[in-house]
Amino acid sequence: MSLELTPVEAVACCPPLAREPLSESEAEGIAPLLKALADPVRLRLMSMVASHEGGEACVCDLNDAFELSQPTISHHLKVLHEAGLLDREKRGVWVYYRARTGALQNLAALIGGQAQ
Amino acid sequence: MSLELTPVEAVACCPPLAREPLSESEAEGIAPLLKALADPVRLRLMSMVASHEGGEACVCDLNDAFELSQPTISHHLKVLHEAGLLDREKRGVWVYYRARTGALQNLAALIGGQAQ
DNA sequence: CAAAGACATAGACACACGTAAATATTTACA
DNA sequence: TGTAAATATTTACGTGTGTCTATGTCTTTG
């Protein structure tokens, strides 16, 4: 067991931004999650996986949608995975990533939640 | 009038991430908004302003909450302002920043919106 | 008009980040 | 067993980012 929370775990701990000021440690836990999303390529990857049927997509499909090298896509997927936004599963030669929609919803609640 | 959208304007244009894949230009419009939020200090600033009474706060109050130089806080406020997340108003010697809660809610809808 | 206070801007620096090329690893199949 | 395909890792490099110090601008007040 780890005392270190993943960004996705950290985001579930806090009331909405507009309710009360975030503490320093809360902010430091949440920022990495936003950072993981704050890149055009990763936003598109996240959106492609989340909107794909079954909420999952094969890397082989994702690579072709970008004019970027395969290692670059692999790198971005790793960032999203380590932030806790994507789950990873290997099936045969292929790797499938699955969106953690609960994480997205927790993040949305933090950002857009009403003050009261 | 400008043909260039602010990040806050860009975020209002798109269905939720999980509904359909974001286009390249949509993603490039939205990423800067997330980038503006994806810093612990700016997250706390945004939260402090949004949760403050009246949805606004004076820079003088914000500076004291951090062990950072005044120009650094000023820089972060500028980033949030230019992203469209904070409005800026000078009253006498003091400057007040006001949270654009609509922008936060649009962003939350984009991130956490249901697929259907 | 001069001085002081509130905030912004400019410049500089260390570090992080996005990308690509080269290489490694894993799996399937002939 | 060996070869090809899918994906990850390593390394390197240019660019961006967060921070500070120094300085500028604006407003109030003596």
Domain-located, residue A27: yes
How many angstroms separate the CA of residue A98 from the nearest CA in chain B? 12
Give the CATH number for residue A77: 1.10.10.10
pLDDT given at position B12: 73
Supply A49's token pair: 């996986």
Band of pLDDT at residue A11, cut at 50, 70 and 90: confident
User: Is the pLDDT confidence value at B6 over 70?
Assistant: no
Chain A, 8 to 47: residues with Cβ < 8 Å from chain B are 17-24, 27-28, 30-32, 34-35, 37-41, 43-44, 46-47
Domain-located, residue A30: yes
Residue A60 structural domain: 7-112
pLDDT given at position A2: 43
Helix B101-112 with A101-112: angle, nearest 10 deg = 170
Query: Residue B7 and residue A104: Cα distance in Å, rounded?
Result: 20
A-chain residues near B105 (CB < 8 A): 112
pLDDT given at position B99: 97
pLDDT in tens, A34-45: 999 999 999 999
Band of pLDDT at residue B2, cut at 50, 70 and 90: very low
Domain-located, residue B2: no
Q: What percent of chain B stands above pLDDT 70?
A: 90
Q: Are B97 and B81 in contact (CB under 8 A)?
A: yes
Beta carbons of B31 and A43 less than 8 Å apart:
yes
Which candidate, A74, A75, A85, places its Cα nearest to that of A33?
Answer: A85
pLDDT (average), residues A11-17: 82
Phi, psi (deg, nearest 5) at residue B58: -85, 140
pLDDT given at position B115: 77
Query: Residue B60 and residue A50: Cα distance in Å, rounded?
Result: 42
pLDDT in tens, A86-97: 999 999 999 999
Q: How many domains would you assign to chain B? A: 1
Domain-located, residue A34: yes
Domain-located, residue B1: no
Any idea which of A46-55, B11-20, B86-95 has the lowest mean pLDDT? B11-20
User: Is the pLDDT confidence value at A1 over 80?
Assistant: no
The span from the first CA to the last CA of chain A, in angstroms, equals: 35
User: Is the pLDDT confidence value at A101 over 60?
Assistant: yes
pLDDT given at position A68: 98
Domain-located, residue A2: no
Average pLDDT, chain A: 92
> For residue A94, what is the enclosing H or E element?
strand A94-99
